[in-house]
Chain A
Amino acid sequence: MTTLSIPTTSALPSTQLVPSTHPAVHRTLLRLSRQSMISLVLDWLDERNQENTAPYLLSSDDEDNDENDDDLYPPASSLAALREIYTDLQGRKGGKRDVVDRAIEGDWRDGISLYQLAMADMQYLYDHPSSQKWNALKITRLTNDQEKTSPSIPRFHPATFLRNLQQEVLPDVKAHYNLDRHATLPLLILRVFIVESPYNTSLALQSVNQNSILDSNKTFYVAFPDSSPHVFVSATFNAQSSSRGPSSNNKSLRRLILEGIPKAFSKPRERYTLQSTSLSAKNLEALVEKRGGGRTSAAGGGWSVYAEEKHGKDNPLNTQLPTPEASILDDVESNTKEEEKGLKRKREEAHDVVKRRRLVAQGRFGNTAKADDGKGIERLDIRVEDLFPEADAAEEEDLNLDDSARDRNSKRKGRRSSISIELDKAEEDDVQADGWRPDVRITLHGSHVFAGIRDLIEAGIVEGEKMPGWMTGEEGVSLGVVRDGRIRGFKGTGV
């Protein structure tokens, strides 16, 4: 350990140890389940990670030292032996606390490295995919020259990006960066952990205010989808922390990193900026579908039939006649087992009515917005600015809203401010000319909003043909202003 600490501008090293008595260490590790904790420890014991995660082992020179005799967790003599101990624990039943205690008080008694903490946090993120709320932002090129074609996607090189990002961070703030590849999705996740200190040694972690220094508010995540001009940034979740001071402080730290991201992407003669895309969700899978590099990003809702895999059926060399739409549904129908849910109340309804509704829903949503596809967004905020409609149309609209509101248990107060700001921004260049446009705001809330709307169509509560397009989610936004039945500024998602 260095005895001399000089303020520097470099990042915190991954090997930096956090004392294992630190409450944040306990808190971070105890969030994990027993199984993930053990698999995490086994990862720590992997040969390749030894540089950053070496455990406390019995070294040869203190073998005949009596000091360790009354130790609750006697240190193991080798990595292999330790691995055996934890594999043994894996098979046994027990609480997670004994694993955590063993790790903290026994095998890593000297301290947990920042890298280990990062791994633990990532593990928690994978175990609880909806623990973070993500905002999708677009990286666009800053340019005055319209004629010149620009590459649509800035090249992402992790090492260069991190070096540039570190340069953007102020010298009195230190950050620890950890990059990890998502197990199933095409995503690279960067975890940024910020410490307010000019030093990048252990001094940085020795603060008077021990509790606040490893605050989870100072951790945040940036996800980079493969070959896509978007980044997903985790939103600060617990903004209403105890006192006002640190909270606003964290926000400014976060903004600092956020401003650093486009600058880190930029290079001479090629500058980038971040743009909001009005989409935020907890579900990374949904974000990857709407903003990833694939085909589905500009073909949502019913348009998704053009983007999906058809197993060679849309090959021009396929001589077979395409199957008509009505029979496609039969296949789907035989697979779904939601009969008991839909038919409990309306047994009297004819089969062909139900089938027709299914067909309509299929036409509006394609194969998206299924309740079990795991691509749900949990909140949709819409402000309707349509002209006040004629009497009969109004009734119908109200009916729709009431039903969806009751079903989704929607109206929720509070945390309105940021949305209002966003929506008012759109209003600035507004021209009020033709008649009264009432200010109607709708919030749909649930585990999978669009699947809920689809269910309502299939149950006959929402009329499929007359439903406006934004209710299918085909625009790929979670926040928008609807005017003349369409989301404003989205005459086409394409460009």
Chain B
Amino acid sequence: MLPSTDDSVLEDTIGAQLDSEIASLKAQVQTLKTQRKTQSTTIISSRTTQTILSRLRASQKTTSTRSSQETDISPLLSTSTAQLAHNQENLYRSCAGITTFRIRDPDPNAVDDGNVLGIRFDVSTSGKFVRPYYVMLNKPWAGKTLLRIHRHTVPSCIPLASLADRYLPHGKGAAAMGDKESGAKRQDLTRFVRALRREIVGYHNRVSVIKGLRKEFKLDEKVSRKGKERERVIADISVADAEAKQVRIEWVDGRIGRAVVDDKGDVKKCVVIGEEGRDREVERRVCAGGMEGIGERLREGIY
């Protein structure tokens, strides 16, 4: 920490000013670029543009010999086709939720010539799509069509392994989906992806319910608006385990509660314990229904 002279301070401030100006201009350029992209995709996807383009395409076919000297419209046409394909892809992704695609494994020694089946899960929570989850499957056993999970981006709080054990068995006596063998443990990709999507959606729902509960009791806001609000009773509501199946509730008076939620979001068990032992009244309230209603039921007890 050397004491700086006046000159350098002056230069520093000017430099900082210029830097911030440059940064803001760059940001502006970036937003304008994205705006332009959005506009162009909107224009190219619109119905009027499509009719014009189809007319152009028809005219190009008939007069293909001399159209080159005017304007070359082939990049425009190809972009339009690509855009339409992309739109359709998006439609499937957002409505079906589970989509498949093919990947080539870059590893030269990959099994099954590097053929990999990718499955994409698009899940939305509280009005937004979260980053998609991917599961990549391959067929590592020569001569068999048994599938196996190769790579995935599913976080470990979702029990992927046990689902794979149940729906994609590959041990002794396992049979692929198309096999006719009877009595074997048959792989079932459809049920597997359904169960997995259900787990993922359930996880996100639980997390967002707990977020909603925090909002309901105004736990994320700053305290004390001069006591105009009703006095705070709940001190904290948080997730207690990785799968968000346990909810921890803390009261201001020192009581601590723990509620266990099942797959469907119903509260299964609850313990509330304070200084004078268990509070069975509140426990009953918490247990009487789904987790999204915990807040409401607690309020009834309080006020």
Residues of A within 8 A of B (CB): 91, 146-147, 149-153, 155, 226-229, 293-299, 302-303, 306-307, 309-310, 314-322, 363-364, 465-469, 472, 474, 484-486, 491-495
Instruction: Please list the 10 inter-chain residue pairs (A to B) with the smallest Cβ-Cβ separation, ordered nearest first.
Output: A485-B109, A469-B107, A227-B242, A494-B149, A316-B93, A316-B94, A295-B153, A492-B150, A149-B162, A307-B153
Main secondary structure of the interface of A (DSSP, over half): loop
With A152-B161, A299-B134 in contact, is A492–B42 under 8 Å at CB?
no
CA distance A251 to B151 in the complex (A): 37
Residues of A with C-beta under 8 A to B133: 295
- Tell me, in angstroms, the Cα distance from A298 to B45 when the chains sit together: 37
Q: How far is the CB of A38 from chain B (nearest CB, A)?
A: 15
For A296, give its contact among B79, B153, B243 (CB under 8 Å): B153
Partner of B90, one of A303, A319, A468, A486: A319
Q: What residues of chain B lie closer than 8 Å to A303, measured between beta carbons? A: 136, 151
**Assembly CA distance A226 to B238 (angstroms):** 15
Let me know if B243 and A321 touch, CB within 8 A.
no
CB distance from B36 to the nearest CB of A (A): 10
Encode B11-27 as 1/0 by CB contact (under 8 A) with A. Answer: 00000000000000000
- The 18 sampled A-B contact pairs (Cβ below 8 Å) are A150-B159, A152-B158, A153-B157, A153-B241, A155-B241, A155-B246, A227-B156, A228-B242, A229-B156, A293-B242, A306-B153, A307-B153, A316-B132, A320-B37, A321-B79, A468-B107, A484-B109, A486-B109
Residues of chain B lying within 8 A (CB to CB) of residue A364: 106
Contact A491 B148 (CB under 8 A): yes
- Nearest residue (CB) in B for A294 is B155
Check if A319 sits within 8 Å of B86, measured CB to CB.
yes
Q: By the criterion CB–CB under 8 Å, are B152 and A317 in contact?
A: no
Q: Is the CB of B131 within 8 A of A309?
A: yes
- Range of interface residues on B (Cβ < 8 Å): 35 or more
Give B114 Cβ to nearest chain A Cβ, in Å.
10
B179: shortest Cβ distance to chain A, in Å? 20
Is B90 a contact partner of A318 (Cβ separation < 8 A)? yes
Contact of B164 among A320, A472, A494 (CB under 8 A): A494
Nearest Cβ distance between residue A377 and chain B, in whole angstroms? Answer: 19
Query: Chain A residues near B140 (CB, 8 Å)?
Result: 491-492
C-alpha gap A297/B90 in the complex (Å)? 27
B108 contacts the other chain (CB 8 A):
yes
In the assembled complex, which residues on chain B have CB atoms less than 8 Å from the CB atom of A151?
A: 159, 243
Of A147, A317, A363, A495, which is within 8 A of B94 by CB? A317
Q: Kindly report which residue of chain B lies nearest to residue A302, judged by CB atoms.
A: B106
Binary flags per residue of B115-151, CB closer than 8 Å to A gives 1, else 0: 0001000100000010111111010100000001111
B160, CB-defined interface residue at 8 Å: yes
Contacts of B45 in A (CB 8 A): 319
